[in-house]
């Protein structure tokens, strides 16, 4: 029997000024059962996107007119929920790739295209995108269910005695109906402000506002259960009138524990790398300015180590991305071993990592961490029967010795890292030493 429901094949928009490559991509993608649409430049792609929804965009970085990164930025401003963008490039400069990621691309592959790699990249990107959409759908559905069925409702009379309470409220508070009807509101509803454990009468906002003649809303409160545990609530209190006289009120409240947990999970996912579970570039971009500001107030130094793996790309190309991912996982675990509680390690993307040292008291301390990191990454990594030798080049920037803001600190560490690579790799360089050797500050 033929199903009444079917899932249409994923739709992909190809954006490339190279007609031959567009043809090759179309033939390959249609052979993989995808629906394909072509655009020969960025402007045409943006026009198509105003009327058609796609599951994925495959786009060349270098195009006449609007280039790939610029199109990416337009897409992010044009669409409320843009599809993922996979960039293709024949360029060999890392800046173009970095610019694409900053503009919103989720991945990048180089020409000539390795078709099996492209096949797997597309599958992974589409799966990740579907998972995100499903998470958002579930979150929306959950919100509707909570609003429709899980609200606690309690009514009080003019003397603030409980006159009615619904089953959802009883369940949340862990009490029976005969335990609460007729009781004073504050005897049953022990309330504290979020972030405190003070459930005394003085902290109850409902008593403080009991004479109000309009509704009031609180979203940062906690209620105490009968068993002594507490839970966060979002609640609204509304007065009941007889004529112009307030004769009671209704409290509608919702346990938002799972909502807060979901929000925390979403925040965590936004700030952490999906492969290594390390903090990602988003987290680092927020954390570094905060660390510099704190160091400035306290009159102390902080150090930034910019780490680039020396021989990761050949391993990734030779053994495939699955092996490459496992290598990165082990690299992440080794980097964690170099840290103290006050320090942090982040993955910026690809094979680039940073270590932020916030409690180092001397340059020697930073150099020791860098040397220890190099030694750890020098040890071969065994993955699926392959012994992989990686190594790393590290650049060190120090605040306030050679920078005064986050952007400059990252740039200086990057410059020092490239100097380490120029001098033979598998070593570290201080930015201050690079400047001293050059005889002037590197712009």
Active site residues: 351
The span from the CA of 355 to the CA of 353, in Å, is: 7
**Beta strands in 162-225, from DSSP E residues, in sequence order:** 162-165, 191-193, 216-224
The span from the CA of 433 to the CA of 294, in Å, is: 26
DSSP 432: H
- Residue in this structure with the two tokens 């490459």, named with its chain if needed: 324
Question: Which ranges in 280-349 belong to alpha helices (H)?
Answer: 281-298, 312-319, 321-336
DSSP for 54-95 reads -SEEEEES--SSS-HHHHHHHHHHH-SSPPPEEEEE----HH
Which residue, among 241, 320, 282, has the nearest Cα to 101 in the 3D structure?
A: 282
In this structure, the number of other CB atoms found within 10 A of the CB of residue 368 comes to 13
The span from the CA of 414 to the CA of 304, in Å, is: 10
The span from the CA of 367 to the CA of 303, in Å, is: 10
């Amino acid at each position: 029997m033929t199903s009444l429901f079917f899932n249409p094949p994923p739709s992909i928009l190809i954006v490339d000024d190279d007609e031959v490559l567009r043809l090759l991509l179309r033939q390959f993608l249609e052979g993989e059962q995808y629906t394909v649409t072509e655009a020969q430049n960025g402007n045409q792609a943006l026009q198509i996107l105003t009327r058609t929804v796609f599951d994925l965009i495959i786009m060349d970085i270098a195009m006449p007119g609007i280039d790939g990164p610029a199109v990416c930025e337009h897409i992010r401003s044009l669409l409320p929920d843009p599809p993922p963008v996979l960039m293709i490039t024949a360029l060999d400069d890392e800046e173009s790739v970095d610019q694409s990621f900053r503009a919103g691309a989720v991945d990048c592959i180089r020409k000539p295209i390795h078709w099996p790699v492209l096949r797997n990249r597309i599958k992974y990107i589409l799966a990740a995108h579907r998972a995100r959409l499903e998470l958002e759908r579930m979150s929306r559905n959950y919100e509707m269910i909570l609003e429709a069925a899980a609200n606690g409702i309690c009514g009080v009379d003019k003397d603030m005695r409980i006159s009615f309470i619904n089953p959802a409220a009883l369940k949340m508070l862990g009490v029976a109906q005969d335990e609460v009807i007729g009781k004073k509101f504050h005897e049953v509803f022990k309330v504290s402000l979020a972030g405190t454990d003070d459930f005394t009468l003085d902290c109850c906002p409902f008593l403080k506002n009991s004479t109000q003649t309009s509704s009031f809303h609180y979203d940062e409160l906690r209620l105490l259960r009968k068993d002594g545990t507490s839970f966060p609530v979002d609640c609204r209190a509304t007065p009941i009138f007889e004529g112009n006289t307030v004769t009671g009120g209704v409290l509608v409240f919702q346990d938002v524990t799972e909502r807060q947990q979901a929000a925390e999970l979403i925040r965590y996912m936004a700030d952490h790398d999906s492969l290594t579970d390390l903090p990602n570039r988003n987290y680092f971009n927020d954390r570094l300015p905060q660390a510099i500001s704190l160091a400035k107030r306290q009159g102390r130094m902080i150090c930034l180590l910019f780490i680039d793996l020396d021989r990761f790309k050949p391993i990734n190309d030779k053994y495939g991305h699955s092996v490459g991912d496992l290598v990165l996982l082990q690299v992440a675990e080794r980097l964690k071993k170099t840290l103290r509680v006050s320090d942090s390690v982040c993955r910026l993307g690809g094979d680039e990592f940073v270590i932020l040292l916030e409690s180092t008291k001397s340059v020697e301390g930073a150099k020791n961490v860098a040397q220890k990191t190099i030694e750890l990454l020098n040890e071969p990594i065994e993955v699926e029967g392959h012994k992989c030798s990686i190594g790393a080049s590290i650049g060190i920037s120090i605040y306030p010795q050679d920078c005064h803001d986050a952007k400059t600190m990252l740039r200086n560490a990057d410059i020092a890292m490239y100097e380490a690579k120029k001098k033979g790799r598998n070593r570290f360089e201080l930015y201050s030493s690079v400047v001293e050797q050059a005889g002037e500050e590197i712009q």
